[in-house]
Structure 1
Amino acid sequence: MATTKKRQWYAEADLSEVEQELATSATGLTQKVAEERLQRDGDNTINRAQGQSQLKVFLMNFVSLMAILLWVSGLIAILSGTLELGIAIWLVNVINGCFSFWQQHQAQKATDSLMAMLPTYTQVYRDGKVQKLDAKDLVVGDVFQLQAGDAVPVDARLMTATSMQVDQSALTGEPVPESKRADYRQGDGEFAESNLIYAGTTVGAGTGTAVAIATGMHTEFGQIAALTQQQGKQNSPLQLELNRLTKQISVIAIGIGLAFFVAAIWFVHYPVAKSFIFALGMIVAFIPEGLLPTVTLSLAHGVQRMAKRHALVKELSSVETLGETTVICSDKTGTLTQNQMTVNHVWLPHQTYTVSGQGYVNNGEIQLNGAPVAYQDDADLARLLRVSTLNNDTRVQLDPKTQQPKLLGTPTEAALMILAEKAGFDVDAETAKTPRLKELPFDSDRKRMTTIHQHDARTLSICVKGSLSDLLPLCPTIQIAGQARPMTDKDRQAINDANQHYAAQGLRSLAVAYRAVPAEADQQAQLDGLTIETAEQQLTFLGLTVMADPPRPEVIEAVQKCHDASIRIIMVTGDSSLTAKSIAVKIGLNTDKVRVVTGTELAAMPDDELKTALKGEILFARVAPEQKYRIVSTLQSLGEIVASTGDGVNDAPALKKADIGVAMGVTGTDVAKDAADMILTDDNFASIVAAIEEGRTVYSNLQKFLLYIFNSNVPEAIPSVLFLFSRGLVPLPLTVMQILTVDLGTDMLPALGLGAERAEPGIMQQPPRAKTAHLLNKHLVWKAFAWYGLLASAVSTGAYFFTNWQAGWPRQALAGSGIGYARATTMTLAAIVFCQIAAAINCRTTVTSLFKFGLFSNKRVWAGIGFEIVLLAVLVYVPVLQPIFNTAPLMLNDWLFLCAIPIPIFLIEEARKWLVRRKTITS
């Protein structure tokens, strides 16, 4: 469908003109013509965006800035004469890249399993006969049949329609089904033409035939999909931050290497070649080889934890972006609410009942003052339930596999059926006892539906439900206590007051009325005479059924968590202003002072005014697809990190534009899932909040990793500083191979364990990190170098001189070779390792005491610590490795000294954390 103008022509033109334009007829196309058009226009499918080849996706995992830095550092290690080390660094890169690709592949497989493009089969007229054809073979001009439950396969003009209602929420976001008819009515809002239906929507009730006017990518569904696919996806904030961090580390490492190169020549008078190799070793030592695998593992753990909490992440980097989210643009229906219309009040002229239980499962009851009520207890209630169930085309069934309610019809009528079941009303028995003879279907003009039933041999029942404003004028009588009497002005005022009372709460009221007429001998003639004008008059008003789509029970807590975390939530819905505001206030999303902006108001609002409005308390109702995109774009221009939810085709551009697009896995369309970064398998807003918590945890864990890694750089560098500035009088306390042993051997597994740490208490009471905040910040550098680093330097350097003192220093000069020197460097290495054991434990929390957090709760960290000790013992006691790593066997006293190192370091850090917590409380 090329333009709105063309669409309007198809709606307004006579059916004969449409048939002439499409070269078709009521009996459809011939097979020959259909094949020609299929060849010309292509399959009726929505083309998915052409993704990158699997080879390219695989290779992209090896060319990030950090990956390139590791390739270079591996090459440097090889050039410095340590072939094994260079190969080890490259293997880290290879393993990390393969792991990252595998995670992405698994996420994509899970996403693909959720995709179910268009309906598989459609009843189509070909060569004058109805045939069951694959929907992808439909062409423009095909005439096809539709019935309740069918998905609409193409954009089409209705030729016939009986009681047809179509769920267009995939396009409009509006949960209330649209009434469709063969003749033209404009309707209110986008895609509201009464005689046009659209691909990707679903027939909720009724039957009809239609002629296809657009297929595949030419449908409204397809055009929005194409718009979405044209948008490029930028690097995530985490990817940008890692690139920045890599540049920082490169500058630091190269700067330190250059400084050591000059110092080696100037102070120690090393030859240039030897100084260069020495400097290269220091450069490699200051590059955190474990950063990339730790980032990947942290993200992968986040993905796994989020999957358990019903959030499927398609790209690893999206996990951390969630942690930065400052604004969530959320749908209402199905996300904040249950998407299950529920009757919560029954208003009768003499009594008001409350109804417990929510959703489409019969798990509640009708109550009066908290006590259960059966329909037999009140004749007026019984008649209202009887009329509501007879005047009803919907059924709710339990899926035998999932045991979840399955709706066959419209949400409003389903709510009435559940209401009857809660009162103990036998719906099947009543419908069998009172068969339907005729139906006057609902339409958007008169806003009511009427059915005529055989009550008994002598009486017909006319059952009516619909809008109060349209139904009440047709009711001259009212039923109270089982008796009908004339309706007074006081009665009308009471009814209208009740309706306004419920409307103010964002609830929908549906009026119910009936009329009994004597059965005539010629029943067919009588039924033919019961038209809208003759049947829908002299009705007796019964009461109001008051309903709403209830909020999800867990959403109130989730909203409060967002408020505590300084995350704004902006409702963007296709529903009415009154309903949207009512739900927003009820769940604590907004206050009564919230500004409600409709789609019409938004269309007339300049960008500057919208920016100002978005800084305050606001929600949007009755918005069009392009308007949601505009809201997200404007928020981003204000510096916000935006997560946007959606399930329909109309949501796809906004999902793609948002920093994090969140699609609904249960009700979401394929285009929405394709555009999104994350898919909720339970369509629940609370799952988004859980995912944000995981995202924040990932970022916190990355900082813990950096703190742990960088604090070992100081004790690694200090021995070289002593060597250089003593002009070689102090033999090198730590060799380059021992430095690299710490970086690539003993440090790696505890660091990976920190990447899997669970969320620290209070993480959702902090505001989102600012865009100007970085992984490597001043506080982290100070803590790593000036606190942990200097503490570890003092201990490890002290261990070196202590070992030399045991061998006779300072009476004897410090040995630069032999078993004594090897034992001294071994003690330096071991002291750094045991300082790192304390650091690994201390880095698990920022301010929380580990005694409260769980000292042994992270088994991965403790497994890494065990590996450190075993690896150190292997290097110390395996003869073949001793000359390579310049190690020597340690004595029992040495091990006792080493084992004592972590205890004071741990306790000192616990004291520091206690002081920080106390300062926070007092401030």
Structure 2
Amino acid sequence: MDWKQVAERLSVDTKTGLSEEEAQKRTSKFGFNEIPEKKESPIIKFFKKFWGLTAWMLELTILVSFILGKYLDLYIIGALLLFNSILSFLQEEKASSVISSLKKNLQVEARVLRDGKWKTVPARELVPGDIVRGRAGDFVAADLKVVTGKLEADQSALTGESMAVEKKENSVLYSGSIIKEGEANSIVLATGKKTYFGRTAQLVQIARPKLHMEEVISKVVTWLLAIVILLLGMTILAQVVRGGSLLEILPLTLILLVTAVPVALPAMFTLSMALGSIELAKQGVLVTRLTASEDVATMDTLCADKTGTITINRLTITNISPANGFAEEDVILYGALASQEANMDPIDLAFLTFGRDKKLLSQEYVQKEFYPFNPETKRTEAVVQRNNNSFRVMKGAVRKIAELCGLKNEEIDRLEGSMGKLAGKGYRTLAVAISENTEKPRLVGLVAMYDTLRPDSIKLIQELKSLGISIKMLTGDALPIAKEIANKVGIGENIVKAPDLKKYAKENLTKASEIAEKSDGFAEIYPEDKYIIVKSLQSKNHIVGMTGDGVNDAPALKQAEVGIAVSSATDVAKGSASVVLTSEGLSSIVDLIKTGRMIYQRIISWILNKIIKTFTIVVFVTLSFMFTGFFVVTAFDMVLLLFLTDFVTLSLATDKVRWSHKPNTWNIKGLVEVAVALGIITLIEHFGLLYIGLKYFGLQSSIPELNTFAFEMLFFSGTFTMFIVRERGHFWKSAPSRTLLLAIILDIIFVMVIFTVGIPGLASLPLYYTLSIMAYYFIVTLLVNDSMKCLLIKYTEIAW
């Protein structure tokens, strides 16, 4: 069928589109334009919790306990393994539901004609018969029949074709394609499962690629494992020398190996990122890649588009200069006729709005053809019919239009001189021309436009600078306009022309990188230049954030560590970015940076706690074995301790922390130095209290009570250590979150009860023993260790 037959079959007027009422009826009939996702069975996901290094270690411990006939240990360790798997499964399901809710906000949108008005709706609300507008950069979300216009579509994701395919009137545009060039109005033929390829692809897939933090921690864990294996080797050697059974110490050695494995690492990271994503979503920032918050925390340079970020992206016509033989009304009329509302382009909308306000547009002018803005021609063009006469109108860059009109060089210089004066005030100037029949175009006049600064831009730019972010303004405007605006908002006046940077990049990449680093921004920029800017800054070891909105911004958004698609971005730009803003301006970016740095601080707290805990537990248990000839804790004690501490450390993901005032950096050497130094201090405290327990409490005569005593030591030490690692200053500088505080209090109450009453596998102790141990670690950890931590952080410079 041709498009007219399709429109008749689907009962739609291509000039007005469907009514909202009819669209709702069709949604009820055909369903939403989406394909239900195939999700992994929850049962399979749950059983995967019993697969992996940590699970294998615990399962091997259960097997050894069975061989040794230690059935009580077997039952308790098995129960704890099951409980921990259930808890981890529930946490990940919660995080997944958070991600799913965010994903709903990141779906493709479409420009649709309803009740005679163009509007933007989620692509899932498209129904057969809808009239939609497609432009370069759009993701095609349904099967379409092209009505008017011409474009090129990339179908490689569907058909494997490497070249873009031309689509014109009556062509079919398949869902899953990406529009590379041109624009067109089309009728929706099929949606959801009814599309030709049987699916509507979602633009944004929230994935969890390997975290940079995981790579960092894997190095730390490797180091910890080396220490643990060395100490366990010494333990095994000591047992052989004593003539003891290796099988007897095998369960505990396996559990000690488990302590070096970050059991709660996946849950902690997923939970931290998911909770951070919720915080950001409330502030108008949608995270398309959960790891983006880590990149944001270390970002030190932000390349920000002027339009829509620093300015409000709403152009206003402020000055009209008609050429000889034309009036101001002619300039606006022909400029408006060379525009198209469906594109939602700010320049087009400014002309159309002004033309309507002056009542210059009427139905006698019919736009027969329209050619959108092209970076090469630097103009828009349209063929317009009035009565039986047709003529061509165009608007665009002054020099390009003047050259088309055949103006002499001195005339062009004079025009550019006038334009330069306006540019000095921050105005952007365009030329309008008309061509009747086949004659050479005639200049109709110049129009000066101004994109007003956002009211909060100056304040927010100062705030970004106070956070240690170097801001580079990007604009396609001429150098004088760029300098004027950059100076007004406090960015600076050292603006570089993008073509100059490109030239340097070809000749001397080092020099180009130095120029990019020292500049305050770039003028006369094309979208493809952004990639070179990002690469230049990265070559100087900067962590770069980049804002963008167009299809040509995609390479730069992907190359930047933090690709930020602004609220008006095309679907392709959103797909390449790691962050999508839902509101205009810089305020969302400020929120993004602060929240990212808070998430970073929570994860650093977890890392510090993990290193300290692993180091102290393993060294304490193995050295005490060498000194006494027996283990001061049992395998069951260690499993229970791991469970109780992991349960609470996960709450660090909810902690209230302060963001740093400069970009964060990964200083693993400093982290290890601080953690090991604090671990050594804690070990001294452990052996001091163990000596008191053996000499004055008479625990050497009761090994089960000694095991409980040592358990309490490790538990209370680890619990109070969380208060000092969560704060880079003294622990009283900030209060923990209610969730973390409640988790710690409940954990302490639970442990005090089971220590006092006793449970199978764990002997009871008098309450005053427990209170004495708790008071001891409360004092030494929060006073001695906290003071040492502040000194260590100061000298290793891992703090803010």
Listed one character per residue, the Cα deviations across residues 174-212 of structure 1 (whole Å, up to 9, x for unaligned) are xxxxxxxx9xxxxxxxxxxxx965679xxxxxxxx9736
Cα deviation for residue 60 of structure 1 reads 9.1
CA contact (8 A) 2:716 2:774 kept: yes
C-alpha RMSD of matched pairs (Å): 5.8
Cα deviation for residue 334 of structure 1 reads 2.2
Asked if 1:287 corresponds to 2:258, the answer is: no
* Pair 654,392 (structure 1): closer, same or farther in 2 beyond 3 Å: closer
The match for 1:764 is 661
Cα deviation for residue 561 of structure 1 reads 4.8
The match for 2:739 is 860
CA contact (8 A) 1:720 1:732 kept: yes
The match for 1:734 is 633
* Pair 605,196 (structure 1): closer, same or farther in 2 beyond 3 Å: farther
* Pair 217,304 (structure 1): closer, same or farther in 2 beyond 3 Å: closer
* Pair 437,786 (structure 1): closer, same or farther in 2 beyond 3 Å: closer
d(CA) in 2 for partners of 1:680, 1:95: 33
Q: Aligned to 1:341, what secondary structure does the other structure show?
A: strand
* Pair 122,910 (structure 1): closer, same or farther in 2 beyond 3 Å: closer
Asked if 1:699 corresponds to 2:572, the answer is: no
Q: Aligned to 2:654, what secondary structure does the other structure show?
A: coil
Q: Aligned to 2:661, what secondary structure does the other structure show?
A: helix
**What letter is aligned with 1:752?**
L
Match of 1:871 among 729, 746, 750: 750
Match of 2:689 among 783, 799, 804: 799
* Pair 211,717 (structure 1): closer, same or farther in 2 beyond 3 Å: closer
Cα deviation for residue 912 of structure 1 reads 4.6
CA contact (8 A) 1:336 1:684 kept: yes
* Pair 675,592 (structure 1): closer, same or farther in 2 beyond 3 Å: closer
Cα deviation for residue 845 of structure 1 reads 0.9
Asked if 1:55 corresponds to 2:40, the answer is: yes
Q: Aligned to 2:546, what secondary structure does the other structure show?
A: strand
CA contact (8 A) 2:464 2:590 kept: yes
* Pair 26,739 (structure 1): closer, same or farther in 2 beyond 3 Å: closer
Question: What pairs with 1:300-339 in structure 2 (closer than 5 Å)?
Answer: 300-339=274-313
Asked if 1:720 corresponds to 2:621, the answer is: yes
Match of 1:778 among 658, 666, 669: 669
The match for 1:424 is none
Cα deviation for residue 310 of structure 1 reads 1.6
Q: Which runs of 5 or more residues in structure 1 are unaligned? A: 1-23, 33-47, 124-133, 139-148, 154-166, 172-181, 183-194, 201-208, 350-382, 395-405, 421-426, 454-463, 473-491, 514-529
Asked if 1:269 corresponds to 2:269, the answer is: no
CA contact (8 A) 1:826 1:887 kept: yes
CA contact (8 A) 1:572 1:619 kept: yes
d(CA) in 1 for partners of 2:6, 2:653: 62
**What letter is aligned with 1:504?**
G
The match for 1:411 is 346
The match for 1:678 is 579
Cα deviation for residue 866 of structure 1 reads 0.6
The match for 2:700 is 815
* Pair 650,917 (structure 1): closer, same or farther in 2 beyond 3 Å: closer
d(CA) in 2 for partners of 1:119, 1:407: 8
Match of 1:88 among 56, 61, 80: 80
Q: Aligned to 1:758, what secondary structure does the other structure show?
A: coil
Cα deviation for residue 337 of structure 1 reads 2.9
* Pair 840,113 (structure 1): closer, same or farther in 2 beyond 3 Å: closer
CA contact (8 A) 1:645 1:655 kept: yes
**What letter is aligned with 1:55?**
E
d(CA) in 2 for partners of 1:447, 1:653: 25
The match for 1:487 is none
**What letter is aligned with 1:764?**
H
**What letter is aligned with 2:292?**
S
Identity among equivalent pairs (%): 22
CA contact (8 A) 1:712 1:792 kept: no
d(CA) in 1 for partners of 2:268, 2:378: 63
CA contact (8 A) 1:73 1:89 kept: no
The match for 1:401 is none
Cα deviation for residue 634 of structure 1 reads 6.0
Match of 1:587 among 489, 506, 509: 489
d(CA) in 2 for partners of 1:86, 1:643: 47
Listed one character per residue, the Cα deviations across residues 757-777 of structure 1 (whole Å, up to 9, x for unaligned) are 33425x1324x425xx4xxx3
Cα deviation for residue 638 of structure 1 reads 5.9
**What letter is aligned with 1:271?**
S
Farther-moved stretch of structure 1 (301-310 vs 606-615): 606-615
Listed one character per residue, the Cα deviations across residues 759-818 of structure 1 (whole Å, up to 9, x for unaligned) are 425x1324x425xx4xxx33333333332x3443344433333344444x5xxxx6343x
**What letter is aligned with 1:873?**
M
The match for 1:645 is 547
Question: What pairs with 1:57-136 in structure 2 (closer than 5 Å)?
Answer: 68-81=52-65, 82-83=73-74, 84-86=76-78, 88-89=80-81, 91-92=83-84, 95-96=87-88, 99-100=91-92, 103-104=95-96, 106-108=98-100, 110-116=102-108
* Pair 93,631 (structure 1): closer, same or farther in 2 beyond 3 Å: farther
Question: What pairs with 1:355-504 in structure 2 (closer than 5 Å)?
Answer: 411-412=346-347, 415=350, 431=359, 499-504=419-424
The match for 1:549 is 451
d(CA) in 1 for partners of 2:623, 2:793: 37
Cα deviation for residue 884 of structure 1 reads 0.6
**What letter is aligned with 1:779?**
G
Cα deviation for residue 116 of structure 1 reads 3.7
Asked if 1:908 corresponds to 2:784, the answer is: yes
d(CA) in 1 for partners of 2:609, 2:307: 45
* Pair 877,311 (structure 1): closer, same or farther in 2 beyond 3 Å: same
Q: Aligned to 1:785, what secondary structure does the other structure show?
A: helix
The match for 1:828 is 710
Listed one character per residue, the Cα deviations across residues 867-915 of structure 1 (whole Å, up to 9, x for unaligned) are 2211212321334x1x412333333x75256335413532335545666
The match for 1:844 is 726
Asked if 1:663 corresponds to 2:571, the answer is: no
Asked if 1:898 corresponds to 2:774, the answer is: yes
Farther-moved stretch of structure 1 (216-225 vs 242-251): 216-225
The match for 2:169 is 211
* Pair 584,759 (structure 1): closer, same or farther in 2 beyond 3 Å: farther
CA contact (8 A) 2:137 2:178 kept: no
- Greater helix proportion: 2
Farther-moved stretch of structure 1 (586-595 vs 675-684): 586-595
Asked if 1:221 corresponds to 2:179, the answer is: yes
d(CA) in 2 for partners of 1:598, 1:98: 56
CA contact (8 A) 2:378 2:400 kept: no
d(CA) in 2 for partners of 1:169, 1:575: 22
* Pair 573,137 (structure 1): closer, same or farther in 2 beyond 3 Å: farther
CA contact (8 A) 2:228 2:257 kept: yes
CA contact (8 A) 2:513 2:537 kept: yes
**What letter is aligned with 1:748?**
D
The match for 2:229 is 254
Q: TM-score when scaled to structure 2?
A: 0.68
CA contact (8 A) 1:306 1:694 kept: yes
Cα deviation for residue 918 of structure 1 reads 8.8
Q: Aligned to 2:493, what secondary structure does the other structure show?
A: coil
d(CA) in 1 for partners of 2:507, 2:533: 11
d(CA) in 2 for partners of 1:603, 1:219: 34
Q: Which runs of 5 or more residues in structure 2 are unaligned? A: 10-32, 66-72, 116-124, 140-147, 155-166, 183-199, 372-376, 387-393, 403-411
**Alignment length, in residue pairs?**
689
* Pair 568,545 (structure 1): closer, same or farther in 2 beyond 3 Å: same
d(CA) in 1 for partners of 2:577, 2:457: 22
CA contact (8 A) 1:407 1:414 kept: no
